[in-house]
Structure 1
Amino acid sequence: MSSASPSTVSLVTTPTPRPKRATVHDVAVEAGVSRGTVSRYVNGERYVSASAREAIEAAILKVGYVPNTAARNLVMQRSQAVGFIVHEPHSLFVEDPNIGEILLGANTALSEADYQMAVLIVDSERDTERVARYLSGGLVDGVIIVSARAYDPISRVVERLNLPAAYVGHPPGASTASFVTIDNRGSARAITERLAATGRRRIGMIAAALDRDSGADRLAGFTEALGDRFDERLVEPVALYSYSAGRDAMQALLERAPDVDGVFAASDAVAAGAMEALRAAGRRVPDDVGVVGFDDSAWAKRTLPGLSTVRQPAAGLGRQAALLVLGQLRGEAGAQEVQLESEVVWRDSA
């Protein structure tokens, strides 16, 4: 008796056809307008009547049309992206709340205009070369530059490529771009005068980032406020607007001038570090030493006592820088300089 051979079962799957992508032609037919009118609408051109615009928008929803952004950008030679370049160490990018606020302000304005943001951090010479290659590849339509040093190579690349650009600050050597600033010099002078008015006689400064316009201008304002009372031996320069820099600088200043009774720190993070060093040395704030900062960032609100400082509109700086770049991309304006308001905020640290 023979056994039946096992049967084999073959499974044949029929591929599911991909749904047909709606085209400009489909939108035009549904809206009852020409393909050219739909193309002008999709590309953001102004010459589309209100009735045609309304019909096209309804047709797009009905047929499920999604513009091929990549193809459109290729034709228009646009990436629909703006670079956000930060010249700071990676650690400070995370530590400094001002950078985050500037970034968020810029991103809000770019998002409203349907642009993407590409964040580029420059922390070394290798980063400079990498970012220069990226910019040269046409991957962004413009750039916002934060914390640029004097005559930095990225600025030269931006100028060579003729990229629409806006700086937060006004570094020397950057001459063809737009700038968004505050009055660092005047604000530093104002808060130093307020500190001196509390009766302090030996006022020092932890002067950060002197290779940038913001740091140099804050030192200049401090010097002007003290006039004949300015003593360069009471100035402790540091490279970065960082907490650790402020702590170490305050320790050095106390060793050199133990009778110091007032300190202007070039940023809130620097001031918070200085206050830690003062506490460790047994100095009371503000009874023994009055401390003031600059930024009115999250650092100012978490110190005890609360930090007297200068409020700068970080998110507003980022937003305005983005608007300046977008304006250049639309051909509406050339290089401009915009100065936003800043104000002294007085708390209990002085």
Structure 2
Amino acid sequence: MSTQSPRRKRATVHDVAIEAGVSRGTVSRVVNGERYVSDEARAAIEAAIVKVGYVPNTAARNLVMQRTQAVAFIVHEPGPLFVEDPNIGEILLGANATLSAADYQMTILVVDSERDTERVARFLRGGFVDGLIMVSARTDDPITRVIEQLELPAAFVGHPPGLTAAWVGIDNRGSARAVTERLVATGRRHIGMIAAALDRDSGVDRLQGFTDALGDRFRSDLVESVPLYSYSAGVDGMRALLARRPEIDGVFAASDAVAAGAIEALREAGRSIPDDVGVVGFDDSAWARRTHPGLSTVRQPAAGLGRAAAESVLAQLGGEQPLVDGIMVETAIVWRESA
């Protein structure tokens, strides 16, 4: 003979209505946060909910309201870089805090291949999220075209050319110019750049800011292009610059991770920092605080970008028009011993 107790039946709106002595419609209005319910009826319903142990069926309610209470966070980066880049994590946490406060869940989607693009596109078309935040979109990005076609409430971190959706970002060009000018002011004569991610707006703008700062002193053979904002790209880029222009005495790396890799390659070549070569980065991420000496860099508020992107999506879900002119967040130069 089985000793298992029978499974307890889940309490329903009907059970709450009987206990409170009101109609099921009145209970539904309270559960859904609607107005026009008397204080007396509301108090009776809230007490009945506790007594009968009623838990609202969120999935069913969302189906009726055609809302999922979920927002996608899409990162277009290789998987290893998603883990390596602390900026992505900071943006994610900033966005999640804002969404959580509004009772929205975050769904994380990583686009690392053409197959991922197709998979994520199917997911978005399936109606599993109410909106999305996109990080690291490329120029002529197929996933960006899908997002614009679906007309989902969306906010991009960064501003790819031709984008017509809401976006948040920083002045990459002006910030890169400012930190390069500071490096020039230290007396360096042969300043190069490891330019990363030139298939997106941030990479192109940082290279342009570097070019602006050097003016007539700019030399194209002192620029090495690498594909990603990664440590290994910084190592490879610095080795290539040293082989081509061994007299180099200053380097602007397009991100802190790239700068950390550059410092490793300089040490490998017997160069001291900053005596032989001054190095500056971009982000003021955890990489900047792990390098020795400490890395001079541009501080961009990654968590603030995430919060602003999430606020934009929530505003669109509330009926507001997307801010296609963009939201700009302030940056600052942080000067340490590396330059």
- Provide the residue aligned with 1:92 in structure 2: 81
Aligned equivalent of 1:189: 177
1:232 lines up with 2:220 in the alignment: yes
- Quote how far apart the aligned CAs of 1:34 are: 4.5
Structure 2 counterpart SS, 1:186? helix
Match of 2:283 in 1: 295
Equivalent positions of 1:191-210 (< 5 A) are 191-210=179-198
1:173 equivalent in alignment to 2:182: no
Count of matched residue positions in the alignment of Structure 1 and Structure 2: 338
Q: Secondary structure of the equivalent of 1:167?
A: strand
1:123 counterpart = 2:112: yes
Q: Which runs of 5+ in 1 are unaligned?
A: 1-11
Q: What do residues 48-80 of structure 1 show as CA deviations (whole Å, max 9, x unaligned)?
A: 566665554444333322110111111112222
Aligned residue in 1 for 2:200: 212
Determine whether 1:43 maps to 2:32.
Answer: yes
What is aligned with 2:68?
79
CA RMSD of aligned residues (A): 1.8
| 1:4-153 aligned within 5 A | 12-13=1-2, 16-31=5-20, 34-45=23-34, 56-153=45-142
Partner residue of 1:323 out of 284, 294, 311: 311
Q: Deviations over 1:202-231 (max 9, x none)?
A: 111100001111111111111111111111
Q: State which drifts further: 102-111 or 52-61.
A: 52-61
Which whole-Å CA distance do the structure 1 matches of 2:13 and 2:49 have between them? Answer: 9
Match of 1:253 in 2: 241
Q: CA offset at residue 86 of structure 1?
A: 0.5
Query: Would the aligned equivalents of 1:151 and 1:174 in 2 still touch at CA under 8 Å?
Result: no
Asked if the contact 1:203/1:262 (under 8 Å) is kept, the reply is: yes
**Cα offsets for 1:240-262 (capped at 9, x unmatched):** 00000001100100111111111
- C-alpha change, 1:231 and 1:188, in structure 2 (3 Å) is same
Q: Which stretch shifts more, 305-314 or 45-54?
A: 45-54
Per the normalisation by structure 2, the TM-score is: 0.94
Aligned residues: percent identity?
77
Is 1:314 equivalent to 2:286 in the alignment? no
Give, in whole Å, the separation in 2 of the partners of 1:95 and 1:291: 20
Is 1:262 the counterpart of 2:250 in the alignment? yes
CA gap of 1:153–1:33, structure 2 versus 1, over 3 A, is same
What TM-score do the two structures reach when normalised by structure 1?
Answer: 0.91
Structure 1 Cα separation of the partners of residues 247 and 38 of structure 2:
74
Which entry has the higher C-alpha Rg, 1 or 2? Answer: 1
Q: Alpha-carbon deviation of 1:110?
A: 1.5
For residue 10 of structure 2, give the secondary structure of its aligned residue in structure 1.
coil
Q: Which segment drifts farther, 139-148 or 46-55? A: 46-55
Question: Structure 2: which amino acid aligns with 1:68?
Answer: N
